[in-house]
Amino acid sequence: MSAPAGTSRQPPYRLVLWNIDLTLLDVGRVTRAAYADAFRQVTGRPLVRLPQMAGSTESEIFFEALAVNAPGDPGGEELLTRFTGLLATAFSTRRDLLTEQGRLLPGAGGAVEEVGRLPGVVQTVLTGSIKPNALEKLRDFCLARFLDTEIGGYGSEVYPKGALLMTARGRAAEKYRANFTELSTVYIADSLRDVEAARVGGARSVAVATGRSSGGELRDAGADAVLADLADTAAVVRTVDRLTLADGR
């Protein structure tokens, strides 16, 4: 399995979900170019204004972009399906630019690897990106090997992130035949909407101030822990360990 080595030492009971963009890496230039390309192809109109993306899923972003850039367009599931297919293609054709124009955020690689060594941990992702694009990012920045991407929650699914979190936990429980409780599940992300998603989906939240929100804003939103970034690997591991041991194990 793709899950970290720690799960082989004892039955898994802790679930760690990672957001990708602006938590682990920044590929904003490539993402924006792919969005503009796919949007023009599916609507015939230029993407003049890109909506706020932090903490949103691809479906939410698309319909907001449609309202702003193509008012009067009826939208609908068929149009969304066409857009996501074109978005995957547009992103894939720019794959060579990911590491050239993007970057792994400080400490991200070490944090994912070391959290995966905690006893009983299964790691996956909870991201607004559609699955093909999420996997491209994780592979190109050498993060996929630490994560079980099969059970993750992706923007390919037309649900808000809180619902995606519950879906991912259900998939993990089924695959690993384990009970991942709300007190043993943690979501590591960077936006105010992600903190809310953790609360709605039933998870602890570790907010990282590497996105658009400040540490104070994330704390005020109710994050269980706030970190400036992932550069201090030991601090990340301690935080995840402390929050996911709350069920008494």
Assess if residue 249 is contained within a domain.
Answer: no
Q: Are residues 17 and 77 in the same domain?
A: no
Give the residue numbers spanning the domain of 95: 28-99
Task: Look at residue 141 and tell me if it is in a domain.
Answer: yes
Place 73 in a pLDDT band, splitting at 50, 70 and 90: low
118 and 207 share one domain:
yes
Q: Is 157 in the same domain as 114?
A: yes
Rounded to the nearest 5 degrees, what angle is found at the Cα of 37, between the Cα atoms of 54 and 153?
40
3-class SS letters over 172-235: HHHHHCCCCCHHHEEEEECCHHHHHHHHHHCCEEEEECCCCCCHHHHHHCCCCEEECCCCCHHH
Same-domain check for residues 79 and 163: no
Same domain, 83 and 40: yes
User: Which of these three, 48, 83, 99, is where a domain ends?
Assistant: 99
My answer on whether 166 and 51 are in the same domain is no
pLDDT tier for residue 245 given thresholds of 50, 70 and 90: confident
Q: pLDDT digit string (tens) for 38-57? A: 989 988 888 877 767 676 78
**Mean pLDDT calculated for residue range 182-204:** 97
- The reported pLDDT for the residue numbered 154 is 95
Task: Give me the percent of the chain exceeding a pLDDT of 70.
Answer: 90
Q: What is the pLDDT of residue 247?
A: 55
Residues 121 and 202 in one domain: yes
Q: What is the percentage of the chain residues whose pLDDT exceeds 90?
A: 73
**Mean pLDDT in residue range 59-67:** 79
Shared-domain flag, residues 134 and 198: yes
User: Does residue 7 carry a pLDDT above 50?
Assistant: no
Domain count, the chain: 2
Q: Are residues 191 and 134 in the same domain?
A: yes
The domain boundary residue, chosen from 71, 99, 127: 99
Q: Given this model, what pLDDT does residue 124 score?
A: 98
Determine the average pLDDT of the residues in 200-229. Answer: 97
pLDDT score recorded for residue 10: 63
pLDDT class for 2, splitting at 50, 70, 90? very low
**Of 99, 125, 151, the domain-final residue:** 99
Residue at 167 is within a domain: yes
What global pTM score does this model have? Answer: 0.90
What six digits make up the tokens of 163? 């619902």
